[in-house]
Amino acid sequence: MSQEPRWLRVAREMNAMAQTGLAFSKDPFDQLRYERLRELAAELLAQGSAADYHVILESLRGDSGYATPKVDVRGAAFKDGRILLVREISDGMWTLPGGWADVNQTAAECVVREIAEESGFQARALKLAAVHDFQRRNRLHHKDSIYKLFFICELLGGAARPSAETSEVDFFARDALPPLSIGRSTAAQIERMFEHRADPTLATEFD
């Protein structure tokens, strides 16, 4: 399990309280208090991460409504015993195709779309293999609370094609994974997808 710094957990919860309070409070004095709470959360995040306070504050102000975890979907598709990975332009590392879930689409529809957009392959979601909490499964840290949904998918057609976000598309053997973009997919998560592929009776795992 990832050991997050205390300041990050406190700041994240403070900001969630501020965001939810600003969404529902009608009292102008409470609105001011919640806005101040958000400013304090931004200050704590800036001090802990050495990032710019104003940049962080504007980022926090970009979210509104009841504060909930963000949802990231990842698709594990296989060919000849190898797993489909894409290389991210942003960091030059490899990951399972996927990204943030979009509104008006089911989670399965989102992962199928992401595979098509990032790899060029058409796919079908077969099984929800895992729902992981980012903070518990990753040694990296993020200001947001994130749920990561991993699907076992079947390729239906298409061909490898990079995208605006990906520079390469390839299949990799279980024991020959490339350098990974671990904020998106860890080696342990990919290994678990191989296990789910080998044994479809495995139960969906969750934190």
Choice between 160 and 136, residue whose per-residue pLDDT is larger: 160
Same domain, 74 and 54: no
Same domain, 106 and 202: yes
Q: Which of 61, 79, 105 is the last residue of a domain?
A: 61
Same domain, 90 and 192: yes
pTM: 0.84
Q: Is residue 149 a contact partner of residue 98, using CB atoms and an 8 Å limit?
A: no
CA atoms within 13 A on the CB side of 10: 12
Give the C-alpha distances (Å, rounded to integers) separating 167 from 78, 185, 194. 19, 17, 24
Q: How many distinct structural domains can be found in the chain? A: 2
**Domain at 183, CATH number:** 3.90.79.10
**Residue 104 CB neighbours (<10 A):** 5
Same domain, 90 and 154: yes
Structure tokens belonging to residue 140:
């990296």
Strands 98-100 and 94-95: unpaired
pLDDT at 7: 96
Residue 165 lies in a domain: yes
Residue 1 lies in a domain: no
Tens of pLDDT, residue by residue over 92-125, are 999 999 999 999 999 999 999 999 999 999 999 9
Tens of pLDDT, residue by residue over 13-41, are 999 999 999 999 999 999 999 999 999 99
**Residue 67 CB neighbours (<10 A):** 19
pLDDT at 2: 56
Same domain, 57 and 77: no
Same domain, 168 and 193: yes
Average pLDDT, the chain: 96
Specify burial of residue 83 (Cβ count, 10 A radius: 0-12, 13-18, 19+). buried
The band of 4, judged by pLDDT with boundaries at 50, 70 and 90, is: confident
Segments forming the whole domain that contains residue 28:
6-61
Whether residue 129 is predicted with pLDDT greater than 60 in this model: the reply is: yes
Q: Is residue 56 a contact partner of residue 40, using CB atoms and an 8 Å limit?
A: no
